[in-house]
């Protein structure tokens, strides 16, 4: 009898503590697709960083080889009209994609999160003004807004980044505002106020950390969308200036020689798709690992 | 409900004002004077005496305060006067009337395709969760939301146009003129425009359906001995459609955004291609007008979607 009770007590002991990091890693890596996405992103990062060493030829100098060569042993993907190696340009294009994606997400998240925090925290007129302005921005399809802004500012990659950032801000502001509205109601925020902590301090030190997980997930997914939008813009001929290499522009260049060598157009498009897919998958995995309640929302 | 609708309409009115301000002032970001940009394409500026510039400026109302210019612009738009295209030497309103029907034709077909096929695909994937059908549909939806539409267009052109010779590879014909040719021409562009919406509808439908078939009332229906067909189509479908309807509002925006790319790939004389062409021709009057009209269409569609919620789901309380 006594033994039995002992074993029951043992049974009711708290389960062994699992470290938060271990739990995160287990959930994050539990899906094959997420692991695949992660590997693609690591490969992409590696390619972008070591492009100089990885690219077999100079991606910019025309006449490195004969123009429009079919894929062969020296030029695995053939060459474009100016005789530049397609594989080398593809490798350098990863830099453009990542740079545009990361800078735009950085700029947009800082501005969007500040706007969303202020709108949610102060409420009232501040909320109305900020959120209606965000609603107005959301009436423009992302690519269209970026297209118009970039064209007004003039070409160039930095203006594309500005344009894409503007188009991404409302998404952040909306999500942050919603999160702030619910976090604000917690007792610890009221305690913080009772201790006469300033608004900025409360927002940055106490609300923002609690809103961070969904924002990280949103950022990851936005990276994919931004790379897709950048590809669209450079496909239309806005942004990258020759001789720079961008995947969208490469798809368009190759389109003209589709009959002669479809690889010119297919390869960069496949690269875009793979990278966007990878960002979406990693975003999915982060969501499940950080905050599964967000399923269906982000 | 009535107060909600009124409040929502008032909100929309505020947003409309902000949208028009944005569109108006974004053009003011252009380096230089709109008049100079206009003249630079028409005449030799250096040869023009300054008095003549002033006269012209007065004539176009550009010497008035910016707010007055904005109000004038709005007033003209209310009268249906969107200004004159510098590049096409044509009233912008007439130009848009010519181009919008093409985009709307493709857009409506794409919206219908993405709604019908997306709902069916998501429903089947949910009902047969984990079976072979789900294993095919679900990965395809992931591809659908990541594939660049312009690239998909090129792939389709290569396969169905250049290799198989099934479909014409570019152009647009009005269905009133030659229905057969028109239908063959729109197949590939419509697929491109629909694919993103189709995939996201299917994903949303699948997860909503999985949520609904766990509910008690569905179990009750099973225990009453109803057939799967009746349970899914009559009881579960209606409730799982609600989240999908939200996506319809977003879908319109995606189709207009996509039309810019798709119309470029397939050389379709729609409003997206007009916009791209005008941007390269620096024809900002046209850019301004198109941007405004598209934004307003999207705004109105989203307003309708928001309001129709209550009709689709009476449980929704409007706070």
Express each pLDDT in B183-220 by its tens digit.
Answer: 899 999 999 999 999 999 999 899 888 888 888 888 88
Q: What are phi and psi of A85, to 5 degrees?
A: -70, 125
Q: How many domains does chain B have?
A: 2
Q: Is the domain of B138 the same as that of B249?
A: yes
Q: Is the domain of B113 the same as that of B182?
A: yes
Q: How many CB atoms lie within 10 A of CB B186?
A: 23
Structure tokens at B310: 């209550």
Q: Is the domain of B184 the same as that of B132?
A: yes
Helix ranges (H only) for B128-236 are 132-146, 149-156, 179-212, 216-223, 228-230
Which has the closest alpha carbon to B13: B305, B301, B296, B314?
A: B296
Q: Is the residue at B88 inside a domain?
A: no
Q: Do A151 and B256 touch (CB under 8 A)?
A: no
Q: Is the domain of B233 the same as that of B293?
A: yes
Q: Do B253 and A141 touch (CB under 8 A)?
A: yes
Q: Is the residue at B273 inside a domain?
A: yes
B85: left (phi over 0), alpha (psi -120 to 50) or beta: beta
Say if CB A71 and CB A261 are below 8 A apart.
yes
pTM recorded for the entire structure: 0.87
Last residue of a domain, one of B78, B112, B135: B78
Q: In chain B, pLDDT over 70 holds for what percent of residues?
A: 91
Say if CB A247 and CB A296 are below 8 A apart.
no
Find the helix packing angle between A263-290 and A86-122, rounded to 10°: 30
If you measure CA to CA, which chain B residue comes closest to A151? B279
Q: What are phi and psi of B174, to 5 degrees?
A: -65, 140
Give the pLDDT of residue A99.
93
Express each pLDDT in B265-317 by its tens digit.
Answer: 999 999 999 999 988 887 888 888 999 999 999 999 988 888 887 777 777 66
Q: Is the domain of B50 the same as that of B103?
A: no
- A1: distance to nearest CA of chain B, Å? 43
- Taken in order B33, B38, B44, B48, is the CA torsion positive or negative? negative
Q: In this predicted model, which residue has the larger pLDDT, B46 or B96? A: B96
Q: Is the domain of B213 the same as that of B305?
A: yes
- Let me know the angle formed at the C-alpha of B166 by B160 and B167, rounded to the nearest 5 degrees: 80
Q: Is the domain of B303 the same as that of B216?
A: yes
Q: Is the bond leading into B214 cis (omega within 30 degrees of zero)? A: no
Q: Do B148 and A235 touch (CB under 8 A)?
A: yes
Q: Is the residue at B113 inside a domain?
A: yes
Q: Do B265 and A258 touch (CB under 8 A)?
A: no
How far is residue A134's CA from residue A67's CA, in Å, rounded to a whole number? 48
Nearest to A280 among B18, B146, B204 (CB): B146
Q: Is the domain of B139 the same as that of B264?
A: yes
Q: Do A147 and B260 touch (CB under 8 A)?
A: yes
pLDDT, mean of each 10-residue run, chain A (298 residues): 51 67 84 91 93 83 75 80 85 92 95 94 90 92 88 84 93 91 85 82 86 89 92 89 85 88 90 94 88 62
Q: What are phi and psi of B84, to 5 degrees?
A: -120, 135
- A282: distance to nearest CA of chain B, Å? 13
Each residue of A17-52: b (16+ CB within 10 Å) or e?
Answer: eeeeeeeeeebbeeeebbeebbebbeebeebbeebe
Q: Is the residue at B50 inside a domain?
A: yes
pLDDT at B319 over 50: no
Give the pLDDT of residue A296.
55
Say if CB A267 and CB A183 are below 8 A apart.
no
Q: What is the CATH number of the domain that holds B190?
A: 1.10.3720.10
Q: What are phi and psi of A14, to 5 degrees?
A: -60, 145
Q: Do B148 and A232 touch (CB under 8 A)?
A: yes
How far is residue A94's CA from residue B116's CA, in Å, rounded to a whole number? 37
Q: Is the domain of B212 the same as that of B301?
A: yes
HSE-up (13 A, CA, CB side) for residue A97: 37
If you measure CA to CA, which chain B residue comes closest to A269? B151
Q: Do B29 and A152 touch (CB under 8 A)?
A: yes
- A234: distance to nearest CA of chain B, Å? 11
Q: Is the domain of B18 the same as that of B151?
A: no
Q: Is the residue at B85 inside a domain?
A: no
Q: Is the domain of B105 the same as that of B46?
A: no
Structure tokens at B243: 């989240």
Q: Is the residue at B89 inside a domain?
A: no
How far is residue A208's CA from residue A38's CA, in Å, rounded to a whole number? 26
Note the ipTM here: 0.86
Say if CB A130 and CB A118 are below 8 A apart.
yes
Q: Is the residue at B253 inside a domain?
A: yes
Last residue of a domain, one of B78, B105, B138: B78
Last residue of a domain, one of B18, B47, B78: B78
Express each pLDDT in B133-184 by its tens digit.
Answer: 888 898 899 999 999 999 999 999 999 988 898 988 888 888 888 888 888 9
Q: How many CB atoms lie within 10 A of CB A112?
A: 27
CA distances A79 to A215, A236, A265, B122, B236, Å, are 42, 21, 11, 42, 55
Number of A:B CB contacts under 8 A?
A: 126
Say if CB B192 and CB B258 are below 8 A apart.
yes
Q: Is the residue at B91 inside a domain?
A: no
Q: Which domain holds residue B63?
A: 2-78
* Contacts with A139 from chain B: Cβ below 8 Å: 15, 19, 253, 295-296, 298-299, 302
Structure tokens at B156: 């389709």
- Taken in order B42, B46, B49, B50, is the CA torsion positive or negative? positive
The residue with tokens 């694919």 is B195
How far is residue B294's CA from residue B103's CA, in Å, rounded to a whole number? 11
Q: What are phi and psi of B267, to 5 degrees?
A: 50, 55
Give the pLDDT of residue A11.
54
How far is residue B289's CA from residue A290's CA, in Å, rounded to a whole number? 44
Which has the closest alpha carbon to A249: A259, A239, A263?
A: A239
Q: Is the domain of B46 the same as that of B145?
A: no
Give the pLDDT of residue A1.
45
End-to-end CA distance of chain B: 9
Which has the closest alpha carbon to B121: B195, B201, B187, B226?
A: B201
């Amino acid at each position: 009898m006594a033994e039995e009770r002992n074993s029951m007590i043992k049974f009711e002991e708290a389960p062994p503590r699992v470290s938060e990091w271990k739990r995160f890693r287990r959930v994050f890596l539990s899906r094959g697709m997420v692991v695949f996405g992660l590997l693609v992103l690591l490969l992409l990062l590696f390619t972008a960083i070591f492009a100089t060493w990885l690219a077999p030829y100079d991606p910019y100098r025309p006449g490195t080889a004969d123009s429009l060569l079919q894929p062969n042993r020296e030029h695995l993907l053939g060459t474009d009209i100016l005789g530049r190696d397609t594989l080398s340009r593809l490798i350098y294009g990863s830099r453009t994609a990542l740079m545009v994606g990361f800078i735009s997400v950085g700029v947009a998240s800082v501005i969007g999160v500040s706007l969303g925090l202020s709108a949610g925290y102060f409420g009232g007129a501040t909320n109305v003004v900020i959120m209606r302005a965000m609603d107005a921005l959301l009436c423009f399809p992302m690519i269209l807004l970026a297209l118009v802004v970039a064209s007004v500012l003039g070409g160039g990659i930095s203006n594309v980044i500005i344009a894409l950032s503007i188009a991404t801000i409302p998404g952040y502001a909306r999500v942050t505002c919603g999160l702030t509205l619910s976090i604000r109601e917690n007792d610890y925020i009221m305690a913080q106020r009772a201790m006469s902590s300033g608004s900025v301090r409360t927002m940055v030190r106490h609300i923002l950390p609690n809103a961070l997980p969904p924002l990280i997930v949103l950022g990851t997914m936005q990276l994919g969308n931004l790379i897709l939008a950048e590809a669209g813009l450079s496909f239309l001929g806005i942004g990258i200036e020759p001789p720079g290499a961008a995947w969208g522009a490469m798809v368009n260049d190759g389109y003209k020689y589709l009959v002669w060598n479809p690889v010119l157009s297919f390869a960069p498009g496949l690269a875009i798709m793979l990278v966007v897919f990878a960002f979406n998958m990693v975003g999915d995995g982060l969501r499940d690992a950080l905050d599964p309640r967000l399923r269906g929302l982000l | 409900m009535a107060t909600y609708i009124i409040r929502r309409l008032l909100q929309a009115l505020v947003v409309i004002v902000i949208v028009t301000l944005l569109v108006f002032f974004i053009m003011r970001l252009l380096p230089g004077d709109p008049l100079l940009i206009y003249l630079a394409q028409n005449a030799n500026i250096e040869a023009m005496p300054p008095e003549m510039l002033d006269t012209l400026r007065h004539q176009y109302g550009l010497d008035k305060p910016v707010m007055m210019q904005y109000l004038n612009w709005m007033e003209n738009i209310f009268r249906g006067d969107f200004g004159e295209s510098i590049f096409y030497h044509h009233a912008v309103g007439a130009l848009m009337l010519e181009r919008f029907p093409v985009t709307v034709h493709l857009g409506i077909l794409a919206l219908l395709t993405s709604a019908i096929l997306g709902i069916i695909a998501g429903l089947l994937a949910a009902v047969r969760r984990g079976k072979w059908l789900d294993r095919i549909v679900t990965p395809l939806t992931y591809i659908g939301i990541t594939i660049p539409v312009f690239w998909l267009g090129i792939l389709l052109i290569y396969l169905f146009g250049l290799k198989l010779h099934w479909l014409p590879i570019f152009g647009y014909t009005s269905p009133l003129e030659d229905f057969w040719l028109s239908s063959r021409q729109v197949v590939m562009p419509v697929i491109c425009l629909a694919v993103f919406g189709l995939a996201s509808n299917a994903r949303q439908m699948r997860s909503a359906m999985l949520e609904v078939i766990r509910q008690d009332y569905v179990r009750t229906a099973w225990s009453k001995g109803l057939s799967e067909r009746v349970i899914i189509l009559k009881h579960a479908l209606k409730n799982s459609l609600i989240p999908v309807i939200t996506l319809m509002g977003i879908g319109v925006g995606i189709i207009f955004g996509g039309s810019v790319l798709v119309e470029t790939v397939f050389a379709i004389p729609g409003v997206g291609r007009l916009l791209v062409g005008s941007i390269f021709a620096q024809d900002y009057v046209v850019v301004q007008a198109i941007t405004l009209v598209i934004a307003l269409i999207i705004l109105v569609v989203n307003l309708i979607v928001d309001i129709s919620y209550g009709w689709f789901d009476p449980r929704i309380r409007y706070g």
